[in-house]
Chain A
Protein backbone atom coordinates (compact mmCIF):
# COMPACT_ATOMS: atom_id res chain seq x y z
CA UNK A 1 0.00 0.00 0.00
CA UNK A 2 1.22 3.47 -0.86
CA UNK A 3 0.09 4.82 2.51
CA UNK A 4 2.57 2.58 4.30
CA UNK A 5 5.30 3.76 1.93
CA UNK A 6 4.67 7.36 2.87
CA UNK A 7 4.81 6.57 6.57
CA UNK A 8 8.07 4.59 6.24
CA UNK A 9 9.73 7.35 4.23
CA UNK A 10 8.75 9.89 6.86
CA UNK A 11 10.17 7.80 9.68
CA UNK A 12 13.46 7.48 7.83
CA UNK A 13 13.65 11.21 7.23
CA UNK A 14 13.10 11.95 10.92
CA UNK A 15 15.77 9.46 12.03
CA UNK A 16 18.27 10.90 9.53
CA UNK A 17 17.63 14.40 10.82
CA UNK A 18 18.20 13.22 14.39
CA UNK A 19 21.49 11.54 13.43
CA UNK A 20 22.76 14.77 11.87
CA UNK A 21 21.92 16.76 14.99
CA UNK A 22 23.36 14.30 17.54
CA UNK A 23 27.10 14.50 16.80
CA UNK A 24 26.98 18.29 16.86
CA UNK A 25 25.27 18.17 20.22
CA UNK A 26 28.00 16.05 21.82
CA UNK A 27 30.98 17.94 20.26
CA UNK A 28 31.61 20.70 22.83
CA UNK A 29 34.84 19.95 24.75
CA UNK A 30 36.28 22.10 27.63
CA UNK A 31 39.69 22.43 25.88
CA UNK A 32 38.10 24.25 23.09
CA UNK A 33 37.50 27.30 25.25
CA UNK A 34 40.48 29.30 23.93
CA UNK A 35 41.21 31.57 26.89
CA UNK A 36 44.91 31.86 28.07
CA UNK A 37 45.72 31.95 31.85
CA UNK A 38 47.34 35.39 31.52
CA UNK A 39 44.10 36.95 30.60
CA UNK A 40 42.58 35.77 33.85
CA UNK A 41 43.05 37.56 37.13
CA UNK A 42 44.68 35.65 40.03
CA UNK A 43 42.49 33.69 42.32
CA UNK A 44 39.99 33.46 39.61
CA UNK A 45 38.43 30.14 39.03
CA UNK A 46 38.26 28.95 35.54
CA UNK A 47 35.46 26.58 34.84
CA UNK A 48 33.81 25.25 31.74
CA UNK A 49 30.09 24.85 31.55
CA UNK A 50 28.79 22.61 28.88
CA UNK A 51 25.90 24.17 27.00
CA UNK A 52 22.75 22.10 26.84
CA UNK A 53 21.63 20.80 23.46
CA UNK A 54 18.74 23.16 23.61
CA UNK A 55 20.93 26.22 24.24
CA UNK A 56 23.39 25.31 21.55
CA UNK A 57 21.12 23.95 18.79
CA UNK A 58 17.68 25.23 19.63
CA UNK A 59 16.95 26.27 16.06
CA UNK A 60 17.84 22.82 14.76
CA UNK A 61 15.58 21.14 17.32
CA UNK A 62 12.77 23.46 16.45
CA UNK A 63 13.31 22.82 12.76
CA UNK A 64 13.39 19.04 13.24
CA UNK A 65 10.29 18.99 15.41
CA UNK A 66 8.35 21.27 13.13
CA UNK A 67 9.45 19.24 10.10
CA UNK A 68 8.20 16.16 11.88
CA UNK A 69 4.89 17.79 12.77
CA UNK A 70 4.45 19.16 9.28
CA UNK A 71 5.02 15.76 7.77
CA UNK A 72 2.59 14.14 10.16
CA UNK A 73 -0.04 16.72 9.30
CA UNK A 74 0.65 16.16 5.63
CA UNK A 75 0.25 12.40 5.98
CA UNK A 76 -2.98 12.75 7.92
CA UNK A 77 -4.23 15.20 5.32
CA UNK A 78 -3.34 12.89 2.45
CA UNK A 79 -4.94 9.88 4.09
CA UNK A 80 -8.11 11.86 4.73
CA UNK A 81 -8.17 13.16 1.18
CA UNK A 82 -7.60 9.66 -0.19
CA UNK A 83 -10.49 8.26 1.84
CA UNK A 84 -12.77 11.05 0.75
CA UNK A 85 -11.94 10.45 -2.90
CA UNK A 86 -12.63 6.74 -2.59
CA UNK A 87 -16.03 7.38 -1.03
CA UNK A 88 -16.93 9.95 -3.67
CA UNK A 89 -15.93 7.58 -6.44
CA UNK A 90 -18.00 4.77 -5.01
CA UNK A 91 -20.95 7.08 -4.68
CA UNK A 92 -20.58 8.37 -8.23
CA UNK A 93 -20.39 4.81 -9.55
CA UNK A 94 -23.49 3.87 -7.63
CA UNK A 95 -25.36 6.88 -8.90
CA UNK A 96 -24.31 6.25 -12.46
CA UNK A 97 -25.51 2.68 -12.42
CA UNK A 98 -28.73 3.64 -10.70
CA UNK A 99 -29.43 6.42 -13.16
CA UNK A 100 -28.62 4.19 -16.10
CA UNK A 101 -31.03 1.60 -14.75
CA UNK A 102 -33.72 4.17 -14.05
CA UNK A 103 -33.41 5.90 -17.39
CA UNK A 104 -33.81 2.54 -19.04
CA UNK A 105 -37.17 2.14 -17.38
CA UNK A 106 -38.26 5.75 -17.63
CA UNK A 107 -37.47 6.16 -21.32
CA UNK A 108 -39.54 3.15 -22.30
CA UNK A 109 -42.39 4.17 -20.01
CA UNK A 110 -42.48 7.84 -20.95
CA UNK A 111 -42.15 7.11 -24.63
CA UNK A 112 -45.01 4.63 -24.71
CA UNK A 113 -47.19 6.97 -22.63
CA UNK A 114 -46.68 9.92 -24.95
CA UNK A 115 -47.19 7.83 -28.09
CA UNK A 116 -50.33 6.36 -26.55
CA UNK A 117 -51.70 9.82 -25.84
CA UNK A 118 -50.90 11.09 -29.33
CA UNK A 119 -52.59 8.14 -31.01
CA UNK A 120 -55.56 8.20 -28.68
CA UNK A 121 -56.77 11.59 -29.94
CA UNK A 122 -57.39 10.58 -33.57
CA UNK A 123 -58.69 7.23 -32.33
CA UNK A 124 -61.19 8.98 -30.06
CA UNK A 125 -62.27 11.20 -32.97
CA UNK A 126 -62.62 8.21 -35.33
CA UNK A 127 -64.79 6.34 -32.86
CA UNK A 128 -67.02 9.34 -32.18
CA UNK A 129 -67.37 10.20 -35.88
CA UNK A 130 -68.27 6.56 -36.52
CA UNK A 131 -70.86 6.54 -33.73
CA UNK A 132 -72.27 9.85 -34.94
CA UNK A 133 -72.44 8.60 -38.54
CA UNK A 134 -74.32 5.48 -37.46
CA UNK A 135 -76.77 7.57 -35.48
CA UNK A 136 -77.31 10.00 -38.36
CA UNK A 137 -78.12 6.96 -40.53
CA UNK A 138 -80.40 5.38 -37.93
CA UNK A 139 -82.48 8.54 -37.50
CA UNK A 140 -85.97 8.55 -38.96
CA UNK A 141 -84.83 11.02 -41.59
CA UNK A 142 -81.26 9.89 -42.32
CA UNK A 143 -79.04 12.90 -42.92
CA UNK A 144 -76.69 11.67 -45.65
CA UNK A 145 -74.71 14.91 -45.73
CA UNK A 146 -73.82 14.36 -42.06
CA UNK A 147 -72.99 10.70 -42.71
CA UNK A 148 -70.71 11.70 -45.57
CA UNK A 149 -69.05 14.31 -43.38
CA UNK A 150 -68.44 11.71 -40.65
CA UNK A 151 -66.91 9.25 -43.12
CA UNK A 152 -64.65 11.91 -44.62
CA UNK A 153 -63.45 12.90 -41.15
CA UNK A 154 -62.82 9.25 -40.25
CA UNK A 155 -60.55 8.92 -43.27
CA UNK A 156 -58.73 12.14 -42.32
CA UNK A 157 -58.20 10.99 -38.75
CA UNK A 158 -56.96 7.60 -39.92
CA UNK A 159 -54.30 9.39 -41.96
CA UNK A 160 -53.51 11.57 -38.97
CA UNK A 161 -52.89 8.51 -36.79
CA UNK A 162 -50.68 7.01 -39.49
CA UNK A 163 -48.69 10.26 -39.68
CA UNK A 164 -48.10 10.19 -35.93
CA UNK A 165 -46.76 6.64 -36.14
CA UNK A 166 -44.57 7.64 -39.07
CA UNK A 167 -43.19 10.55 -37.02
CA UNK A 168 -42.32 8.25 -34.15
CA UNK A 169 -40.57 5.88 -36.54
CA UNK A 170 -38.62 8.78 -38.00
CA UNK A 171 -37.61 9.75 -34.49
CA UNK A 172 -36.09 6.32 -33.99
CA UNK A 173 -34.51 6.31 -37.42
CA UNK A 174 -32.46 9.36 -36.49
CA UNK A 175 -30.44 7.05 -34.31
CA UNK A 176 -28.87 5.54 -37.39
CA UNK A 177 -26.80 8.72 -37.58
CA UNK A 178 -25.29 7.79 -34.21
CA UNK A 179 -23.85 4.57 -35.55
CA UNK A 180 -20.11 4.38 -35.21
CA UNK A 181 -17.44 1.72 -35.40
CA UNK A 182 -17.49 0.02 -32.03
CA UNK A 183 -15.42 -2.58 -30.25
CA UNK A 184 -17.95 -4.82 -28.54
CA UNK A 185 -15.40 -5.69 -25.85
CA UNK A 186 -15.23 -2.04 -24.85
CA UNK A 187 -19.01 -1.87 -24.82
CA UNK A 188 -19.07 -4.84 -22.44
CA UNK A 189 -16.39 -3.26 -20.25
CA UNK A 190 -18.40 -0.06 -20.01
CA UNK A 191 -21.43 -1.98 -18.88
CA UNK A 192 -19.32 -3.87 -16.34
CA UNK A 193 -18.28 -0.51 -14.96
CA UNK A 194 -21.85 0.74 -14.83
CA UNK A 195 -23.09 -2.37 -13.09
CA UNK A 196 -19.99 -2.96 -10.92
CA UNK A 197 -21.84 -1.98 -7.78
CA UNK A 198 -24.83 -4.18 -8.41
CA UNK A 199 -22.60 -7.14 -9.26
CA UNK A 200 -20.57 -6.62 -6.11
CA UNK A 201 -23.62 -6.14 -3.95
CA UNK A 202 -25.01 -9.49 -5.06
CA UNK A 203 -21.69 -11.33 -4.69
CA UNK A 204 -21.58 -12.26 -8.33
CA UNK A 205 -18.33 -13.75 -9.65
CA UNK A 206 -17.45 -12.48 -13.08
CA UNK A 207 -15.62 -14.52 -15.69
CA UNK A 208 -14.75 -13.02 -19.02
CA UNK A 209 -13.26 -14.25 -22.26
CA UNK A 210 -12.87 -11.17 -24.38
CA UNK A 211 -9.93 -11.75 -26.73
CA UNK A 212 -8.54 -8.57 -28.27
CA UNK A 213 -7.83 -10.23 -31.65
CA UNK A 214 -9.50 -10.54 -33.98
CA UNK A 215 -11.18 -7.36 -32.84
CA UNK A 216 -14.96 -7.77 -32.44
CA UNK A 217 -15.92 -4.56 -34.19
CA UNK A 218 -19.41 -3.67 -35.32
CA UNK A 219 -21.16 -0.62 -36.75
CA UNK A 220 -23.63 0.40 -34.12
CA UNK A 221 -25.17 2.85 -31.70
CA UNK A 222 -23.11 2.72 -28.53
CA UNK A 223 -25.94 3.75 -26.19
CA UNK A 224 -28.40 1.26 -27.67
CA UNK A 225 -25.97 -1.66 -27.61
CA UNK A 226 -24.94 -0.80 -24.05
CA UNK A 227 -28.62 -0.83 -23.22
CA UNK A 228 -28.93 -4.35 -24.64
CA UNK A 229 -25.95 -5.69 -22.66
CA UNK A 230 -27.06 -3.82 -19.54
CA UNK A 231 -30.50 -5.32 -19.84
CA UNK A 232 -29.05 -8.82 -20.07
CA UNK A 233 -26.80 -8.14 -17.06
CA UNK A 234 -29.65 -6.85 -14.95
CA UNK A 235 -31.81 -9.81 -15.91
CA UNK A 236 -28.95 -12.10 -14.93
CA UNK A 237 -28.47 -10.33 -11.59
CA UNK A 238 -32.17 -10.57 -10.84
CA UNK A 239 -32.30 -14.23 -11.84
CA UNK A 240 -29.31 -15.12 -9.64
CA UNK A 241 -30.90 -13.63 -6.55
CA UNK A 242 -32.74 -16.92 -6.36
CA UNK A 243 -29.60 -19.06 -6.04
CA UNK A 244 -27.02 -19.49 -3.29
CA UNK A 245 -24.58 -16.56 -3.13
CA UNK A 246 -21.57 -18.87 -3.67
CA UNK A 247 -22.96 -20.14 -6.96
CA UNK A 248 -23.47 -16.84 -8.72
CA UNK A 249 -21.45 -16.59 -11.90
CA UNK A 250 -21.75 -14.20 -14.80
CA UNK A 251 -19.72 -15.42 -17.76
CA UNK A 252 -19.27 -13.08 -20.69
CA UNK A 253 -17.42 -13.99 -23.85
CA UNK A 254 -16.96 -12.64 -27.33
CA UNK A 255 -15.51 -14.05 -30.52
CA UNK A 256 -15.51 -13.39 -34.22
CA UNK A 257 -17.19 -16.13 -36.23
CA UNK A 258 -16.08 -16.96 -39.77
CA UNK A 259 -14.73 -13.43 -40.14
CA UNK A 260 -18.36 -12.38 -40.62
CA UNK A 261 -20.07 -11.98 -37.28
CA UNK A 262 -19.35 -10.92 -33.73
CA UNK A 263 -20.87 -13.42 -31.31
CA UNK A 264 -21.30 -12.56 -27.65
CA UNK A 265 -22.46 -14.98 -25.01
CA UNK A 266 -23.81 -13.79 -21.68
CA UNK A 267 -24.32 -16.69 -19.31
CA UNK A 268 -25.73 -16.67 -15.82
CA UNK A 269 -26.02 -19.39 -13.20
CA UNK A 270 -29.59 -18.56 -12.27
CA UNK A 271 -32.47 -21.01 -12.07
CA UNK A 272 -32.95 -21.02 -15.84
CA UNK A 273 -36.10 -20.60 -17.90
CA UNK A 274 -38.86 -23.17 -18.41
CA UNK A 275 -38.57 -24.75 -21.88
CA UNK A 276 -42.11 -23.73 -22.79
CA UNK A 277 -41.37 -20.11 -21.92
CA UNK A 278 -38.08 -19.63 -23.66
CA UNK A 279 -39.70 -18.95 -27.03
CA UNK A 280 -41.87 -16.22 -25.55
CA UNK A 281 -39.30 -14.18 -23.66
CA UNK A 282 -38.67 -11.76 -26.54
CA UNK A 283 -42.37 -11.12 -27.02
CA UNK A 284 -43.57 -7.71 -25.80
CA UNK A 285 -45.40 -7.73 -22.45
CA UNK A 286 -44.28 -11.26 -21.64
CA UNK A 287 -42.65 -11.37 -18.22
CA UNK A 288 -41.77 -13.87 -15.54
CA UNK A 289 -41.04 -11.13 -13.00
CA UNK A 290 -43.69 -10.01 -10.59
CA UNK A 291 -42.94 -6.33 -11.18
CA UNK A 292 -41.79 -6.62 -14.80
CA UNK A 293 -43.38 -4.83 -17.74
CA UNK A 294 -42.20 -7.43 -20.21
CA UNK A 295 -40.54 -4.74 -22.30
CA UNK A 296 -36.82 -5.27 -21.62
CA UNK A 297 -36.05 -8.20 -23.87
CA UNK A 298 -38.45 -7.13 -26.58
CA UNK A 299 -36.67 -3.77 -26.71
CA UNK A 300 -33.33 -5.63 -26.80
CA UNK A 301 -34.56 -7.68 -29.71
CA UNK A 302 -35.77 -4.66 -31.66
CA UNK A 303 -32.42 -2.91 -31.11
CA UNK A 304 -30.47 -5.98 -32.20
CA UNK A 305 -32.78 -6.44 -35.20
CA UNK A 306 -32.24 -2.85 -36.26
CA UNK A 307 -28.49 -3.53 -36.18
CA UNK A 308 -28.96 -6.45 -38.56
CA UNK A 309 -28.19 -8.96 -35.83
CA UNK A 310 -30.09 -11.50 -33.81
CA UNK A 311 -30.48 -12.49 -30.20
CA UNK A 312 -31.34 -15.95 -28.92
CA UNK A 313 -31.44 -17.68 -25.57
CA UNK A 314 -30.71 -21.20 -24.44
CA UNK A 315 -31.41 -22.46 -20.97
CA UNK A 316 -31.11 -25.61 -18.93
CA UNK A 317 -33.49 -25.72 -16.03
CA UNK A 318 -31.44 -25.37 -12.87
CA UNK A 319 -28.24 -24.48 -14.68
CA UNK A 320 -28.79 -20.96 -15.84
CA UNK A 321 -29.47 -19.18 -19.08
CA UNK A 322 -27.20 -18.08 -21.90
CA UNK A 323 -28.04 -15.24 -24.24
CA UNK A 324 -26.32 -15.27 -27.62
CA UNK A 325 -25.98 -11.97 -29.34
CA UNK A 326 -24.84 -12.02 -32.96
CA UNK A 327 -24.00 -8.82 -34.80
CA UNK A 328 -22.49 -8.37 -38.28
CA UNK A 329 -18.71 -7.83 -38.13
CA UNK A 330 -17.75 -4.44 -39.44
CA UNK A 331 -15.05 -4.77 -42.03
CA UNK A 332 -13.21 -1.77 -43.35
CA UNK A 333 -13.06 -3.28 -46.87
CA UNK A 334 -16.71 -3.65 -47.69
CA UNK A 335 -18.94 -0.70 -46.85
Chain B
Protein backbone atom coordinates (compact mmCIF):
# COMPACT_ATOMS: atom_id res chain seq x y z
CA UNK B 1 0.00 0.00 0.00
CA UNK B 2 1.20 3.48 -0.92
CA UNK B 3 -0.14 4.76 2.40
CA UNK B 4 2.25 2.64 4.37
CA UNK B 5 5.12 3.54 2.07
CA UNK B 6 5.02 7.20 3.20
CA UNK B 7 4.15 6.36 6.82
CA UNK B 8 2.88 9.38 8.66
CA UNK B 9 5.87 11.62 8.05
CA UNK B 10 5.28 14.94 6.29
CA UNK B 11 5.81 14.68 2.55
CA UNK B 12 6.50 17.09 -0.31
CA UNK B 13 5.14 16.28 -3.76
CA UNK B 14 6.78 17.78 -6.84
CA UNK B 15 5.20 17.92 -10.31
CA UNK B 16 7.50 19.21 -13.07
CA UNK B 17 7.93 17.90 -16.60
CA UNK B 18 11.65 18.61 -16.63
CA UNK B 19 13.60 15.63 -15.34
CA UNK B 20 16.60 17.64 -14.13
CA UNK B 21 14.42 20.14 -12.28
CA UNK B 22 12.53 17.28 -10.61
CA UNK B 23 15.70 15.45 -9.64
CA UNK B 24 17.42 18.57 -8.28
CA UNK B 25 14.39 19.47 -6.15
CA UNK B 26 14.21 15.94 -4.81
CA UNK B 27 17.85 16.21 -3.77
CA UNK B 28 17.23 19.63 -2.19
CA UNK B 29 14.27 18.45 -0.11
CA UNK B 30 16.04 15.26 0.94
CA UNK B 31 19.09 17.28 2.03
CA UNK B 32 16.97 18.97 4.69
CA UNK B 33 15.42 15.67 5.76
CA UNK B 34 12.05 16.04 4.06
CA UNK B 35 10.28 13.09 2.52
CA UNK B 36 9.66 13.76 -1.16
CA UNK B 37 7.91 12.16 -4.14
CA UNK B 38 8.26 13.52 -7.69
CA UNK B 39 5.98 13.19 -10.74
CA UNK B 40 6.37 14.20 -14.37
CA UNK B 41 2.67 14.93 -14.87
CA UNK B 42 -0.52 15.67 -12.97
CA UNK B 43 -1.91 12.32 -14.17
CA UNK B 44 0.93 10.42 -12.54
CA UNK B 45 0.34 12.44 -9.36
CA UNK B 46 -3.38 11.64 -9.28
CA UNK B 47 -2.74 7.92 -9.77
CA UNK B 48 -0.91 8.03 -6.49
CA UNK B 49 -3.00 7.75 -3.32
CA UNK B 50 -2.50 10.74 -1.04
CA UNK B 51 -1.07 9.77 2.36
CA UNK B 52 -2.76 10.47 5.64
CA UNK B 53 0.04 12.83 6.66
CA UNK B 54 0.80 16.53 6.33
CA UNK B 55 1.70 17.09 2.69
CA UNK B 56 2.18 19.91 0.23
CA UNK B 57 2.64 20.25 -3.50
CA UNK B 58 5.33 22.03 -5.51
CA UNK B 59 3.75 22.57 -8.92
CA UNK B 60 5.23 23.77 -12.20
CA UNK B 61 2.94 26.21 -14.03
CA UNK B 62 3.83 25.09 -17.55
CA UNK B 63 3.00 21.41 -17.83
CA UNK B 64 2.40 19.46 -21.02
CA UNK B 65 -1.05 18.07 -20.23
CA UNK B 66 -2.69 20.84 -18.19
CA UNK B 67 -1.54 24.22 -16.89
CA UNK B 68 -0.61 24.28 -13.22
CA UNK B 69 -3.22 26.95 -12.57
CA UNK B 70 -5.97 24.81 -14.11
CA UNK B 71 -4.79 21.87 -12.06
CA UNK B 72 -5.15 24.01 -8.94
CA UNK B 73 -8.82 24.63 -9.90
CA UNK B 74 -9.34 20.94 -10.59
CA UNK B 75 -7.98 19.93 -7.19
CA UNK B 76 -10.23 22.48 -5.52
CA UNK B 77 -13.25 21.13 -7.43
CA UNK B 78 -12.36 17.57 -6.46
CA UNK B 79 -12.08 18.68 -2.82
CA UNK B 80 -8.44 17.63 -2.65
CA UNK B 81 -7.05 20.03 -0.08
CA UNK B 82 -3.30 20.30 -0.46
CA UNK B 83 -1.30 23.53 -0.09
CA UNK B 84 0.38 24.45 -3.39
CA UNK B 85 3.60 26.33 -4.09
CA UNK B 86 3.99 27.29 -7.74
CA UNK B 87 7.30 27.40 -9.56
CA UNK B 88 7.49 28.89 -13.03
CA UNK B 89 9.94 29.95 -15.67
CA UNK B 90 7.85 32.90 -16.73
CA UNK B 91 5.61 34.40 -14.09
CA UNK B 92 3.58 37.51 -14.61
CA UNK B 93 1.56 39.49 -12.15
CA UNK B 94 -1.96 38.42 -13.27
CA UNK B 95 -0.90 34.78 -13.07
CA UNK B 96 0.57 35.27 -9.62
CA UNK B 97 -2.53 37.07 -8.39
CA UNK B 98 -4.80 34.32 -9.74
CA UNK B 99 -2.77 31.59 -8.07
CA UNK B 100 -2.56 33.34 -4.71
CA UNK B 101 -6.27 34.24 -4.76
CA UNK B 102 -7.02 30.57 -5.30
CA UNK B 103 -5.09 29.84 -2.15
CA UNK B 104 -1.53 29.09 -3.28
CA UNK B 105 1.10 29.35 -0.56
CA UNK B 106 3.65 31.06 -2.81
CA UNK B 107 4.55 31.75 -6.43
CA UNK B 108 8.26 31.45 -7.20
CA UNK B 109 10.26 32.07 -10.36
CA UNK B 110 12.80 29.59 -11.67
CA UNK B 111 15.58 29.42 -10.78
CA UNK B 112 14.18 29.43 -7.25
CA UNK B 113 16.08 30.50 -4.13
CA UNK B 114 16.27 27.51 -1.83
CA UNK B 115 15.33 29.48 1.32
CA UNK B 116 12.19 30.80 -0.36
CA UNK B 117 11.18 27.36 -1.60
CA UNK B 118 11.92 25.63 1.71
CA UNK B 119 10.07 28.37 3.61
CA UNK B 120 7.06 28.00 1.32
CA UNK B 121 7.09 24.24 1.74
CA UNK B 122 7.32 24.53 5.52
CA UNK B 123 4.41 26.96 5.55
CA UNK B 124 2.46 24.60 3.29
CA UNK B 125 3.12 21.61 5.54
CA UNK B 126 2.19 23.68 8.61
CA UNK B 127 -1.08 24.75 6.94
CA UNK B 128 -1.89 21.18 6.03
CA UNK B 129 -1.04 19.94 9.54
CA UNK B 130 -3.33 22.59 11.05
CA UNK B 131 -6.12 21.74 8.62
CA UNK B 132 -5.81 18.03 9.39
CA UNK B 133 -5.94 18.85 13.11
CA UNK B 134 -9.06 20.96 12.57
CA UNK B 135 -10.66 18.23 10.46
CA UNK B 136 -9.85 15.61 13.08
CA UNK B 137 -11.28 17.74 15.92
CA UNK B 138 -14.36 18.45 13.88
CA UNK B 139 -15.08 14.85 13.02
CA UNK B 140 -14.52 13.83 16.65
CA UNK B 141 -16.92 16.49 17.90
CA UNK B 142 -19.33 15.58 15.17
CA UNK B 143 -19.27 11.96 16.31
CA UNK B 144 -19.92 13.02 19.89
CA UNK B 145 -22.71 15.31 18.76
CA UNK B 146 -24.26 12.50 16.74
CA UNK B 147 -24.25 10.31 19.86
CA UNK B 148 -26.67 12.78 21.50
CA UNK B 149 -30.40 12.10 21.37
CA UNK B 150 -32.50 14.57 19.45
CA UNK B 151 -33.70 16.27 22.62
CA UNK B 152 -30.12 16.55 23.84
CA UNK B 153 -29.04 18.02 20.50
CA UNK B 154 -31.80 20.59 20.80
CA UNK B 155 -30.74 21.37 24.35
CA UNK B 156 -27.14 21.70 23.15
CA UNK B 157 -28.18 24.23 20.50
CA UNK B 158 -30.27 26.31 22.91
CA UNK B 159 -27.81 26.20 25.79
CA UNK B 160 -24.89 27.31 23.64
CA UNK B 161 -27.10 30.04 22.14
CA UNK B 162 -27.18 31.47 25.70
CA UNK B 163 -30.71 30.52 26.82
CA UNK B 164 -31.55 29.91 30.50
CA UNK B 165 -32.82 26.51 31.61
CA UNK B 166 -36.25 28.01 32.23
CA UNK B 167 -36.43 29.42 28.73
CA UNK B 168 -35.29 26.13 27.22
CA UNK B 169 -37.89 24.26 29.24
CA UNK B 170 -40.57 26.57 27.86
CA UNK B 171 -39.30 26.23 24.31
CA UNK B 172 -39.12 22.45 24.41
CA UNK B 173 -42.30 22.11 26.45
CA UNK B 174 -40.63 20.09 29.23
CA UNK B 175 -39.92 20.69 32.88
CA UNK B 176 -36.83 22.52 34.05
CA UNK B 177 -35.65 19.34 35.81
CA UNK B 178 -35.69 17.47 32.51
CA UNK B 179 -33.67 20.26 30.85
CA UNK B 180 -31.12 20.01 33.66
CA UNK B 181 -30.87 16.24 33.05
CA UNK B 182 -30.44 16.78 29.27
CA UNK B 183 -27.82 19.38 29.97
CA UNK B 184 -25.87 17.03 32.22
CA UNK B 185 -25.98 14.35 29.54
CA UNK B 186 -24.79 16.83 26.90
CA UNK B 187 -21.81 17.89 29.03
CA UNK B 188 -20.88 14.29 29.67
CA UNK B 189 -21.36 12.95 26.14
CA UNK B 190 -19.57 15.92 24.56
CA UNK B 191 -16.75 15.49 27.09
CA UNK B 192 -16.91 19.16 28.00
CA UNK B 193 -15.39 19.97 31.37
CA UNK B 194 -16.67 23.51 31.50
CA UNK B 195 -19.55 25.37 29.96
CA UNK B 196 -17.06 27.61 28.09
CA UNK B 197 -15.58 24.51 26.45
CA UNK B 198 -19.02 23.47 25.29
CA UNK B 199 -19.51 26.88 23.65
CA UNK B 200 -16.16 26.54 21.82
CA UNK B 201 -17.34 23.13 20.58
CA UNK B 202 -20.52 24.73 19.28
CA UNK B 203 -18.32 27.24 17.40
CA UNK B 204 -16.32 24.44 15.78
CA UNK B 205 -19.44 22.55 14.84
CA UNK B 206 -20.93 25.82 13.59
CA UNK B 207 -24.15 25.59 11.67
CA UNK B 208 -23.59 21.86 11.33
CA UNK B 209 -25.69 21.47 14.50
CA UNK B 210 -29.29 20.92 13.40
CA UNK B 211 -31.77 23.71 14.02
CA UNK B 212 -34.03 23.54 17.09
CA UNK B 213 -37.26 21.70 16.39
CA UNK B 214 -40.55 23.22 17.57
CA UNK B 215 -41.79 21.59 20.79
CA UNK B 216 -44.46 19.53 19.10
CA UNK B 217 -43.16 16.07 19.71
CA UNK B 218 -44.20 14.79 23.12
CA UNK B 219 -43.15 11.21 22.21
CA UNK B 220 -39.50 12.19 22.22
CA UNK B 221 -38.71 12.00 25.90
CA UNK B 222 -35.16 10.94 26.48
A320 to chain B, nearest CB (A): 39
**Contacting pair A160 B20 (CB below 8 A):** yes
Is A249 positioned at the interface, with any CB of B under 8 Å from its CB?
A: no
Known A-B contacts A135-B31, A136-B31, A153-B23; A127 and B111 likewise in contact (beta carbons under 8 Å) = yes
**Chain B binder among A112-120, A261-269, A310-318:** A112-120
Chain A 93-129, CB within 8 Å of chain B: the 1/0 string? 0000000000000000000010011001111111111
Is A91 positioned at the interface, with any CB of B under 8 Å from its CB?
A: no
Is B213 positioned at the interface, with any CB of A under 8 Å from its CB?
A: no
**Contacting pair A117 B89 (CB below 8 A):** yes
Is A331 positioned at the interface, with any CB of B under 8 Å from its CB?
A: no
In the complex, A135 Cα to B31 Cα: how many Å? 6
Contact of B27 among A139, A149, A160 (CB under 8 A): A149
In the complex, A160 Cα to B21 Cα: how many Å? 12
Chain B 6-18, CB within 8 Å of chain A: the 1/0 string? 0000000000001
Is A185 positioned at the interface, with any CB of B under 8 Å from its CB?
A: no
**Contacting pair A125 B114 (CB below 8 A):** no
**Contacting pair B24 A153 (CB below 8 A):** yes
B78 to chain A, nearest CB (A): 29
In the complex, A126 Cα to B28 Cα: how many Å? 11
Residues of B within 8 A of A153 (CB): 20, 23-24, 27
A291 to chain B, nearest CB (A): 18
Residues of B within 8 A of A146 (CB): 27, 30-31
Can you name the residue of chain A whose Cβ is closest to the Cβ of B33? A139
Q: How large is the interface on A (under 10, 10 to 19, 20 to 34, 35 or more residues)?
A: 20 to 34
Is B110 positioned at the interface, with any CB of A under 8 Å from its CB?
A: yes
B91 to chain A, nearest CB (A): 11
Can you name the residue of chain A whose Cβ is closest to the Cβ of B27? A132
**Contacting pair B111 A124 (CB below 8 A):** yes
Is A279 positioned at the interface, with any CB of B under 8 Å from its CB?
A: no
**Contacting pair B21 A116 (CB below 8 A):** no
**Contacting pair A121 B112 (CB below 8 A):** no
**Contacting pair A121 B27 (CB below 8 A):** no
In the complex, A128 Cα to B36 Cα: how many Å? 15
**Contacting pair B31 A113 (CB below 8 A):** no
In the complex, A149 Cα to B25 Cα: how many Å? 13
Residues of A within 8 A of B114 (CB): 127-128, 131-132, 135
Is A150 positioned at the interface, with any CB of B under 8 Å from its CB?
A: yes
In the complex, A117 Cα to B20 Cα: how many Å? 14
A120-B90, A128-B27 known; 15 other A-B pairs, CB under 8 Å? A117-B62, A120-B110, A123-B110, A124-B18, A124-B89, A125-B23, A127-B24, A127-B112, A132-B30, A132-B31, A133-B27, A135-B31, A149-B27, A156-B20, A157-B20
Chain A positions within 8 Å of B, measured between CB atoms, are 113, 116-117, 120-129, 131-133, 135-136, 139, 143, 146, 149-150, 153, 156-157, 160
**A/B interface sample: 13 pairs, CB < 8 A:** A117-B89, A120-B111, A121-B18, A121-B20, A121-B21, A121-B110, A123-B111, A126-B111, A127-B24, A128-B25, A128-B28, A132-B24, A139-B31
Chain B positions within 8 Å of A, measured between CB atoms, are 18, 20-21, 23-25, 27-28, 30-32, 62, 87, 89-90, 110-112, 114
